[in-house]
Amino acid sequence: MHLQRYFGKLEETLPKYLIEKYHFYDINTAIKQIHFPDNFEKFKLARNRLVFEELLAMQLALLSLKNRYEVKKTGIAFLKEAKMSDIIDTLPFKLTKAQLRVLEEIDRDMESSKPMNRLLQGDVGSGKTVVALLSCYKAVKSGYQATIMAPTAILATQHLESFNEILKDTGIKCELLVSGISKKKKEDILKRLAEGEIDILIGTHAILEENVIFKNLGLVVTDEQHRFGVRQRSIIAQKGENPDILVMTATPIPRTLALILYGDLDISIIDELPPNRKKIETYAVKKGMEARVNNFIAKNIEEGRQCYIVCPLVEENEEINAASVMELVEHYQTKVFPNFRVTYLHGKMRPKEKDSIMEEFKNGNIDILISTTVIEVGVNVPNANIMLIENAERFGLAQLHQLRGRVGRGEYQSYCVLKYEGNSKIIQERMKVISSTNDGFVISEKDLELRGSGEFFGTRQHGIPEFKIANLFEDMNILKMVQAIAMEIINKDPLLEKEENKILQKMIKEKFKDRIEI
């Protein structure tokens, strides 16, 4: 295709007022200068114009989506009399300032008649579960049912235990729905759910099945957003009349980027850890330090602690992956720790099998658990204080941080040891970052910088179009500017109907026709 044919003939895609206000090139000049620049300065101006346009389209599309959701729908106004403080006062621990701030935001959302659509971000261990519990309490006390969807049966069971413990004197009925339960038990749960006898249903994506019918679902909480896309959120939301939605994630994403990924959600952040959490000491070591690391693990186990050993997915191939775990297990069971109880966990196992192994580990009947990353979203084992990660160079920073968060959940000083190979500058840099900070937001900024946005987000699973020219890290200043401009445009013209914005409406329709109905 000859570009020359099109020069001067392209239809403008930005409104005149934006081009004039920000001194942008018109579309034809921009396209010409990006392909055949007269000089570097003009290339830069052309690129800025095109990056601005790409980011603006994305932002406007998300805001329109959010607007449509809010304009069209009347949600549930939960009762002011249903007070979260009734439960807060009975808790055996004090909530942090950040938790209380987030609960106020949720409380306000729940009492308004606009459907809540909120993302709750909080680092591993920052106390998101209790926020979810208090939100569910408010929904139930207002006469509705609530549901929590967790990514694994283990996590769902853990939620159930903590809910039952804290709500035991309230008369609220919680129930667990996971794929492993017997047919009879499941039928009983479905019957009681439809009749409104179950107040809070906690489960895995078994909750998405068609035969799961609520009597009056008022609040949907999904835990670990990246495992439940927008589509699943909408499936579960359809089980109620515009229920409120709370999405929780322990993957810290810088706020500016969270606005891109979750532009259809309001954002709350728990940015402090409970006071009793000790910093997890993190060490990056080369293979040569193996003997010292093993002695250190043995010493801790002899003192009564437990240890996780994580090995990476060698490839996406489950067979090879299972084999690599087995090799490692044999090495540790027979050669390194023959005197300890060493067992393993990998993705090939049936959910029931995984759950029972985690249960054994939790109860202290296993000293060392060797696993692939299936434990990344996982169970609370306060007695496990060492996490050894094999081939740490194969993991992204955010994932290393998630894994590290499995330890440090009890009173004992906890350690994360990263065994890595390779001397490249980027590996060294990543090991340095993860060893020097426990702050998930700092780590995610760095991860983005080191890996680039496509890989960082795994954008395909988010259904976000790949950017053709914008780079979310390098163009952060343009992104911030675009976010403010998009808000201003949408506030003045929510449906982009004004003559001056028709051109924007057209651009969004063309770019997002398959993904977003606008």
The pair phi, psi for residue 290, each rounded to 5°, is -50, -50
Per CATH, domain 85-270 is 2.60.40.1220: no
Q: What percent of the chain is predicted at pLDDT more than 90? A: 42
Of the candidates 243, 236, 247, 203, the residue with the CA atom closest to the CA atom of residue 219: 243
Nearest to 119 by CA among 274, 273, 264, 271: 264
One-letter identity of residue 19:
I
**Which structure tokens are listed for 374?**
């299936």
- Compute φ and ψ for 372, nearest 5 degrees: -85, -170
Adjacency order of strands within the sheet including 117-122 = 174-177, 200-203, 145-149, 217-223, 244-249, 117-122, 266-270
- pLDDT at residue 463, as a whole number: 44
- Asked, colleague to colleague, whether 85-270 and 281-437 share their fold, the answer is yes
Q: Residue 336's Cα: distance from chain center in Å?
A: 36
In the 8-state DSSP scheme, what is residue 333?
I
Compute the distance between CA of residue 354 and CA of residue 359 in angstroms, rounded to an integer. Answer: 9
Residue 462 has pLDDT above 50, yes or no: no
Q: Among 58-72, 154-168, 468-482, name the most confident range.
A: 154-168
- Structural fold of domain 281-437: Rossmann fold (3.40.50)
Distance CA 251, CA 257 (A): 12
First to last CA, the chain: 31
Q: Which two tokens stand for residue 354?
A: 């995984």
Element (H, E) at 247: strand 244-249
Contacts of residue 497, Cβ cutoff 8 Å, sequence gap at least 6: 505
Q: pLDDT per residue over 31-65, tens digit each?
A: 999 989 999 999 999 999 999 999 999 888 878 77
Q: Which H or E element spans position 286?
A: strand 281-286
Look up the pTM and report it: 0.72
User: Is the CB of residue 147 less than 8 Å from the CB of residue 219?
Assistant: yes
Residue 396's identity, in one-letter code, is G
Type and span of the H or E element at 217: strand 217-223
Point out which residues pair with 202 in neighbouring strands. 148, 176
- Mean of the pLDDT values across residues 313-331? 64
200-234 per-position pLDDT tens digit: 999 988 898 889 999 999 999 988 755 556 667 77
Looking at mean pLDDT, say which of 284-293, 372-381, 439-448 comes out highest: 284-293
Question: What pLDDT was estimated at residue 67?
Answer: 67
Cα(174)–Cα(168) distance, integer angstroms: 10
Half-sphere exposure of 250 (CA within 13 A, CB side): 23
Backbone angles phi, psi at 285, to 5 degrees: -130, 155
Strand (E) or helix (H) holding 150: none
Domains of the chain by residue range: 3-72+471-512, 85-270, 281-437
Q: Are 106 and 136 in contact (CB under 8 A)?
A: no
